Each structure stands twice: as structure tokens, then as C-alpha cells.
Structure 1
């Protein structure tokens, strides 16, 4: 899952775990959310290779004729367009992330968007409400934080199951710090 918790400082004498902190030890929870990258470098090479093979098959019939030189630029352009689209999608998915910092005094979320300025939100965690709209909405398990006069969506790129798990962990962390 593309969710990474970092908790500092750890309370002395506790077993390491997600929420093994004393309520008054200045605990700071940091959460980084990133979209899941379904295709790695090996998959990228395979897709480009298979596409090159599929584009080359029709060209075998016109080998040695002037028609080959007319079709070759279009096949090359199609292969380049696929390579460009996959590379750009991968780069934008890597640039997208949400960072959450939760302490006893404040909760703040910074969302880094590709090709757009970062968005920032903060509030007092005591007054923040965490909501999970499970069914009946446009999005299943729609996760929001409400506080400081705003409603902020959290983990929009996560799957419904991951948002439900994030809701459970984040509500536990909020209860722990209150």
C-alpha cells in the first residue's frame, strides 16, 4: 500500500508499532500518501517491445517496396507517442503525493500536484472531524477532513479499501492525541 507512517519520538520502553506513543511525549505522526504505480520499468520495456513488434508485423508485407518508406514514419510516430504518454503518466504519478503531519497542537496536509502549485491546509486536531462516506455517494469510501472552515479530501488516488484502512488508522491517531 502506498501509505508510509513515521512516528517520532517513540515512548521509552514500548514495542515499536504504529501508535506506540504516550499521549504527552510530544508525539508527531507523519503520513506520506502516494499513488500506486502499477507498471515498473520492466513493464514499460515489455509494452514498448510488444508494441514495436505488433507495429512491425504489417510492415513485413511491404519489405523491399517504396510503400515501406511511406508507412515507416507513421509506425515510428505511433511508437514514440506511446513511449511519451507512458513516460509522462509515470512522471506525473511519481510527482503526486499528500503529506500529513499530526501533532497535539496542529494537523497539516500538503498536497503536491504535478504541474500545479502545492496545496496546504492546517487546523487544530481537537476540532477536526474525520468523515468516511462509505456508500451512496459518487465515490465509495470518500474520506474527508473537516476543520478550520474547510472540507479537505484525503487520499483521492487511493482505492476504496485503502481509504477505509487510512480512515481507521487516522481516526486512531486522532483519538490518541486528543
Structure 2
């Protein structure tokens, strides 16, 4: 699951904290291997034209293809650098979202009034989860897939039960 509950510490200020992030199927360390393997496989047909003028005509297109692939994966990584931290203390609950652009979005509410809601079909994604507290309703985990949001919803319902 691309989220993690922090262990409860007896004397810590927050009772618990939940960190969420988008799932990454291609890790950063595998990025170099993928680009290298792709370049190697695509360059195999170029062996037949080695030493001819055709190689020089095809080489710029080969370089543009590798550069385009690298750029597309880099943009995908930048858009996926989202971190949501949901912290619940004795009296207050706070959700902080760190966006890829570097800005932060914060939401705070009285823990007693915080409720979790799931919108199975009405939200922008299936099983859309929101937190409602005070006068605002905020989304949480919109980047997770539908099954992960179901599991998150159950975990949040259990964790936000009145003490």
C-alpha cells in the first residue's frame, strides 16, 4: 500500500500520523536501467547501417526518441511527487498536502468533529474519500486506486472512532 501509519508513541504529541504518496511502478534506480536497455534495443537495427551515411541520417531521430522518453518519464516523476500527511492529536486533526510545485495546502479541524466520507460514484474518481470537519471538506488519497481507497477508508473509519 502506498500509505503508512506511524507507530503510536506513548508520550508523543500526535496520537498517530498517516503518510500517503502515489504508487511508483518504476523506481528512480531502475530509471537508468530502463533508459539504457531501451537505447540498446532500439540501436540494434542501427548495426546494419554502421559505416554508411544512413546511420547519420537516423541518429538524430534515435537521439530525439531517447530524449523524449527521458523527458516524459521525468515529467511523470515530478507530477507524482505528492505527499499527504494526516496527523491526529488529542484535540486537533490536520492534513498537509505537499504538492510537486513545492507549495503546501493545510487543513485543520477539531478532532471531535472530523468525519470520513466515501463517495462511491459521485466524486472525480471511484470511491472518492473526503474528510469533513469544521466548515470545510477536503479530499484525501485521490491519487490512490479504487481498491487502495477502500482499504484507506476502512482504516480511517477505525482510527477516527471516538476514544
After TM superposition, is the score higher than 0.5? Answer: yes
Q: Which runs of 5+ in 2 are unaligned?
A: none
TM-score, normalised relative to structure 2: 0.85
Aligned to 1:165: 151
**How many residue pairs end up in the alignment?**
163
Q: How far apart are residue 134 of structure 1 and its match?
A: 2.2
Aligned to 1:128: 114
Task: Tell me if structure 2 keeps the 8 A contact 1:8–1:28.
Answer: yes
Alpha-carbon distance between aligned partners in 2 of 1:136 and 1:152, rounded to the nearest angstrom = 15
Task: Tell me if structure 2 keeps the 8 A contact 1:100–1:110.
Answer: yes
Aligned to 2:43: 56
Tell me: CA distance 1:44–1:62, structure 2 relative to 1, closer, same or farther (3 Å): same
4+ residue runs over 4 A deviation: none
RMSD: 2.4
Tell me: CA distance 1:97–1:54, structure 2 relative to 1, closer, same or farther (3 Å): same
Aligned to 1:73: 60
**Greater Cα shift, 2-11 or 98-107:** 2-11
* Residue of structure 2 aligned with 1:84, choices 45, 51, 71: 71
